[in-house]
Amino acid sequence: MKMVALVDCNSFYCSCEKIFRPDLRNKPVVVLSNNDGAAIAFTKEAKALGFGQMCEAFFKVRDRVKQHNVAVFSSNYALYDDISKRVMNVLREFSPKVEVYSVDEAFVEIEGDENFDFEAWGRNVRAEIFRKIGMPVGVGISKTKVLAKVSNKLSKKHNGVCVLITDEQIDRALKDFPVRDLWGVGARSASKLSIFSIKTALEFKRFPDEKLIQKHLTKVGREIQDELRGINCLSLEAAEDKKNTGNSRSFGYDVYTKQELREALAQFATNASAKLRAQKSVCYSITAFIHTNPFKPGPQYYGVDSLRFSSGTSDVVKIIKGAHEVLDQIYRPGYGYKKGGILLNHIVPRNECQMDLFAPDTSDNEHLNSVVDMINKKYGPQTVKSGACGINQAWKTIHAYKSRHFTTEWKDLLTVEL
DNA sequence: TCTGGGGTCCTAGGACCC
DNA sequence: TCTGGGGTCCTAGGACCC
């Protein structure tokens, strides 16, 4: 009997911060988005105080945060990524089949006969992850991924573990489960379903006209319906290489000069090309964009364009050059730019990459790139990079409340005094 | 004052081919 | 007073996810 578990971390970003701040146990904690613009993660204590509205502008709640003594952190993605990897490694001790679905959750395949105690399995996973990492997780177990998602949501009310295996267990759970809360059903799909008087997951499961579902919700909706019926449509998948990758940021202030945009895009190109090399891939084209602040009154401009490389590349020098060429096309003086970014497209594994016989310079400077990657791995990200990225980077995102890189930089290692 | 960043999948429709 | 039919590939846009 194969079952699927969804394991997800509770208030992941906040929990990462709390690992290194035991004084914050049971205290309200909030983590902010880039630029410290909005609150994006909350502990249950913070939610109880009325925080928890996704993307609430931070300046609006700053006074209330102080008043309630809420701990505030800027987002520290280097820390969260590292904690995530550690959690996933513990999961792999429990099953060879683990699909990392996002930074804070994973699907895990469990095999067991009729006598297997799935509940105990879930409790064990929870205890181990907390013991080894200090991360609290919820575990939902059922027959399919969609049902495991439902089960996981219900686990919050069942001390962190929920098992839905028999038809009675499943239907009882689906009866009170709003269809909008199903994985894959967004606001659009939910409102379409309400036309057919489908409000709960059970009504969706039992809705007989599959062709109608296909027509309005496409194949995606049809498969969700099947998964509710216990039919596996969405199999567990091994981690695959990214098909697109990119890097973009809001700037700390409105940027007017092309020189600053050149620096920023060079930095984004540096970050994205490192991701590409880490998965041993190359890309065939690059897209760059810059745009003004859509929330500000006044004239708006959105500039975007792409270019193709003559051959597949992951060379940071070529990718920066590409970003700058696109910038030359899209830059319009006079605007205050709030955000910029780049995307790398048409990604293929490096060993499947075809060379262009007629292009003048097709060879990546592989030696240079690998030495740079090696140094940055050993001494920390950004130890060596192109001068095109600039030195001061005044445009950079604001991070006023950032914690240290406890697990990824030697200089930030936590010291404990006894 | 501020309003994130990084992805995936599906479909329709245009371009192109024979 | 008609101007094929069938197929593939690519892209833009929509929807959704965390």
- The reply to whether the CB atom of residue A244 sits less than 7 A from any atom in nucleic acid chain B is yes
Check which CATH number belongs to the domain holding A171 and give it: 1.10.150.20
Secondary structure of residue A279 in the 3-state scheme: coil
Q: What positions of strand B are covered by protein, i.e. any atom < 7 Å from a CB?
A: 1-11
* Integer angstrom CA distances of residue A5 from A32, A174, A268, A284, A359: 30, 17, 36, 38, 50
pLDDT value at residue A54: 66
Number of neighbouring beta carbons within 10 Å of residue A412 = 15
- pLDDT band, very low/low/confident/very high, at A361 (cuts 50, 70, 90): low
Please tell me whether residues A65 and A205 are part of one structural domain. no
Distance CA A292, CA A93 (A): 48
Same structural domain for residues A232 and A245? no
Using the CB atom, is residue A249 less than 7 Å from strand B?
yes
Which pLDDT value is given to residue A255? Answer: 94
In a domain, A412, yes or no: no
- Residue A261, Cβ neighbours under 10 Å: how many? 23
Q: Judge if A139 and A279 occupy the same domain.
A: no
pLDDT given for residue A246 in this prediction: 92
Q: CA separation (Å) from A39 to A34, A60, A162?
A: 10, 10, 29
Claim to verify: residue A269 and residue A359 sit in the same structural domain: yes
d(CA A335, CA A301): 7
What is the structure's pLDDT at A234? Answer: 92
Is residue A49 located within the same domain as residue A115? yes
Q: Considering the domain boundaries, does residue A418 fall inside one?
A: no
The strand B neighbours among A residues 25-84, by Cβ under 7 Å, are: 33-35, 37-38, 40, 54-55, 57-60
Any strand B atom closer than 7 Å to A242 CB:
yes
Q: Are strands A98-102 and A161-163 parallel, antiparallel or unpaired?
A: unpaired
- What secondary structure letter does DSSP report for A59? H
Q: How confident is the model at residue A363 (pLDDT cuts 50, 70, 90)?
A: low
Q: Which two tokens stand for residue A101?
A: 């679905």
So what's the pLDDT on residue A383? 84
Instruction: Give the domain CATH number at A264.
Output: 3.30.1490.100
Binning pLDDT at 50, 70 and 90, where does residue A356 land? low
In this structure, the number of other CB atoms found within 10 A of the CB of residue A211 comes to 9
Of A297, A282, A182, nearest in space to A229 by CA: A182
What is the C-alpha to C-alpha distance for residues A33 and A360, in angstroms, rounded to an integer? 43
Q: Give the list of residues 6+ apart from residue A265 with CB closer than 8 angstroms, or none.
A: A288, A290, A320, A323, A324, A327, A340, A342
Residues in reach of strand C, judged by a CB distance below 7 angstroms, are A 101-105, 149, 182-190
Q: Which of residues 172-211 of A touch strand B (CB under 7 A)?
A: none
pLDDT band at A172 (very low <50, low <70, confident <90, very high): very high
Q: Are residues A66 and A94 in the same domain?
A: yes
Give the Cα separation of A139 and A4 in Å (integer). 10
Q: Which residues pair with A249 in a beta bridge?
A: A340
Closest by Cα among A111, A160, A133, A146 to A16 = A133
For residues A180 and A84, membership in a common domain is answered with: no
Distance A208 CA to C10 C1' (A): 36
A398 located within any domain: no
* Per-residue pLDDT at A357 exceeds 70: no
State the amino acid at position A362 in one-letter form: T
Distance measured from the CA of protein residue A327 to the C1' of nucleotide B12, in angstroms:
31
Minimum CA–C1' distance nucleotide for A183: C17
Nucleotide nearest to A103 (CA to C1'): C18
* The dihedral sign for the CA sequence A16, A19, A21, A24: positive
- Looking at the structure, do residues A139 and A250 belong to the same domain, yes or no? no
CA to C1' distance (Å), from A183 to C17: 8
- Could you read off the pLDDT of A316-347 as tens digits, one per residue? 999 999 999 999 999 999 999 999 999 999 88
Q: Which nucleotides of C are covered by protein (CB under 7 A)?
A: 14-18
Of A134-138, A282-286, A360-364, minimum mean pLDDT range: A360-364
Q: What is the CATH number of the domain that holds A89?
A: 3.30.70.270
* Domain edge (last residue) among A192, A222, A237: A237
In a domain, A193, yes or no: yes
Domain-located, residue A146 = yes
Q: Which domain holds residue A213?
A: 167-237
Q: Is residue A104 part of a domain?
A: yes
Quote the distance between the C-alpha of residue A7 and its chain's center: 15
The pLDDT of A389-410, averaged and rounded, is 84
Last residue of a domain, one of A165, A184, A199: A165
> Is there a domain that residue A343 lies in?
yes
What total of structural domains would you count in chain A?
3
Quick check: A355 and A362 in contact, CB under 8 A?
A: yes
pLDDT (0 to 100) of residue A202: 97
Buried b (16+ CB within 10 A) or exposed e, A359-380: eeebebeeeebeebbeebeeee
Mean of pLDDT values over A170-183: 97
Q: Of chain A residues 253-292, which have a beta carbon within 7 Å of strand B?
A: 271, 275
Whether residue A178 is found in the same domain as residue A210: yes
Residue pLDDT, tens place only, A111-137:
998 899 999 999 999 999 999 999 999
Residue ending a domain, among A237, A259, A282, is: A237
Distance between the alpha carbon (CA) of A216 and the C1' atom of C7, Å? 26
Same structural domain, A209 and A138: no
**Alpha carbons A109 and A41: distance in angstroms, whole number:** 28
**A145 in the same domain as A270:** no
Which residues are CB-neighbours of A416 under 8 A, at least 6 positions away? none
Does residue A321 fall inside a structural domain?
yes
- A11 and A137, same domain (yes or no): yes
The pTM score is: 0.90
CA–C1' A263–C12 (A): 30
CA distance A151 to A232: 16
Is residue A354 predicted with pLDDT exceeding 90? no
